[in-house]
Amino acid sequence: MRKIGLKEVEDIALGASLLGAGGGGDPYYGKLMAIGAIKERGPVDLIDPEEVPDDAVIMPIAMMGAPTVLCEKGTGGNEYKVIYDIVSQYMGRKVYAVMPMEAGGVNSMLPIAAAARLGLPMVDCDGMGRAFPELQMVTFTIGGVSATPMALTDEKGNSAIFNTITNKWTEELARAVTMSCGGSVTVSLYIMDGATMKAFGVKNIVTRSEMLGQAIRNVKNHPDMTPEAAFLYASEGYGIFKGKIADVLRETNGAFNLGRVVLDGIGDWRGQRAEVCFQNENLAVTVNGEIRATVPDLICMVDTETFIPVTTEALKYGKRVMVVGLKCYEMWRSERGLELVCPRYFGVDTDYIPIETRVKEGLGNV
């Protein structure tokens, strides 16, 4: 157990927004909520998964919907209490701790805000090790865990609990309510006991985010490496492309941020062209029409000078970015993992080939 205060929040937000792979929302907005809660209620206890009793009730906290909507619509502040009350009443037991469900600018931060406001510890574990756009896309689904009972509330005070026959149905019904509530809501799902969390969770992801954040902050201070080399070393990332944003096409459809971005190469990549498509998160990157990486591996864009991650909302014409690929959590590469998050599920017409294989097949680092 250790304390998460304001400094830790800064690093976690930065690192998690890299793991957000373009999605997961604006880390600035998420950070404000965590910082506001910690300033009011004090630091949060981050507990190691192994410290959690097997029968403890763990309440994941997340926002559902289009992150662009959340940034405009905001939250009301009372959502955590509403969710806590619903979950406690429904389970008939006290909640032991909160937990994030995904890494990303917003969903790594809301659980910290919730933990601070509810006076509960947060577990150093999540269900993705990155961000994904649909709620059944968590390692707990691979483990056969039900998303329901799922609690949902909006900033106005409307709430719902769902019980569904499959996690795909949870997505369907909760998504419909999310849209009716204006496009973003606060949810708790995959409410589980400690034993389940330990068996299927992506452990120590908060600590990993924090270390990534620290590394990004310090890329320019490395004694022996260029900032870029230091960044790729610390993130264990594969450099895929460097370019200037030439075009961004967007639509907000079915509560998702959809679109693609076109990059004109710079530096060694001058004269070449890359394209990244996204559904909240980046789905695939092609260079000169050839696929270089796809989901479930992480495709991230970072500023070429500061190495700060650029979310899909922040993409704009003229910005210079490096496209970086990171290996996804091993469980996503299993057959059951790929059933949930293979490229074709997202409309990307290719088999999944691990990023390290795609890189070996003819593409060095940037």
Site residues (CB under 8 A) for a copy of itself? Answer: 86, 89-90, 156-165, 169, 172-173, 175-177, 179-181
Nearer to a copy of itself, 179 or 353 (CB): 179
Cis ω on the peptide bond leading into residue 43 (within 30° of 0)? no
> By C-alpha distance, which of 127, 149, 129 is closest to 139?
127
Distances (CA, A) of 107 to 62, 141, 165, 178, 314: 5, 18, 25, 16, 17
- Of 158 and 334, CB closest to a copy of itself: 158
Looking from the CA of 259 toward its CB, the CA atoms found within 13 Å total 20
CB of 337: closest distance to a copy of itself in angstroms? 25
| Residues sharing a CB contact under 8 Å with residue 16, sequence separation 6 or more, in sequence order | 24, 27, 103, 104, 105, 108, 109, 209, 212, 213
CB of 85 to a copy of itself, least distance (A): 10
Identify which of residues 83 and 106 has a Cβ nearer to a copy of itself in the complex: 83
Place of tokens 């004090």: 42
Closest CA to 274 of 314, 242, 309, 318: 242
Q: How far is the CB of 177 from a copy of itself (least distance, A)?
A: 5
φ, ψ at 276 (rounded to 5°)? -120, 125
Minimum CB separation from a copy of itself for residue 3, in Å? Answer: 35
Q: Which of 6/91 has CB closer to a copy of itself?
A: 91
Amino acid identity at 185: V
The distance of closest approach from Cβ of residue 254 to a copy of itself in the complex, given in angstroms and rounded to an integer, is 12
Cβ closer to a copy of itself: 179 or 248?
179
> Shortest approach of a copy of itself to residue 216 CB, angstroms?
40
Shortest separation between residue 295's beta carbon and a copy of itself, angstroms: 25
Residues contacting residue 34 through CB under 8 Å, at least 6 positions apart: 9, 13, 109, 110, 112, 113, 116
Residues 6 or more apart whose CB falls under 8 angstroms from that of 226 comprise none
To a copy of itself, the closest distance from the beta carbon of 171 in angstroms equals 10
**Two tokens, residue 159:** 């709430």
Cβ count near 17 (within 10 Å): 36
Q: Residue 168 or residue 217: which is nearer to a copy of itself going by CB? A: 168
- Smallest distance, Å, CB 174 to a copy of itself? 9
Nearer to a copy of itself, 180 or 288 (CB): 180
Q: Which is nearer to a copy of itself, 59 or 116 (CB)?
A: 59
d(C-alpha 352, C-alpha 294), whole Å: 7
Return the number of the residue (124 or 171) whose C-beta is nearest a copy of itself. 171
Task: Check the CA dihedral 89-97-4-183 and report its sign.
Answer: negative
* CA proximity to 280, closest of 137, 114, 159, 181: 137
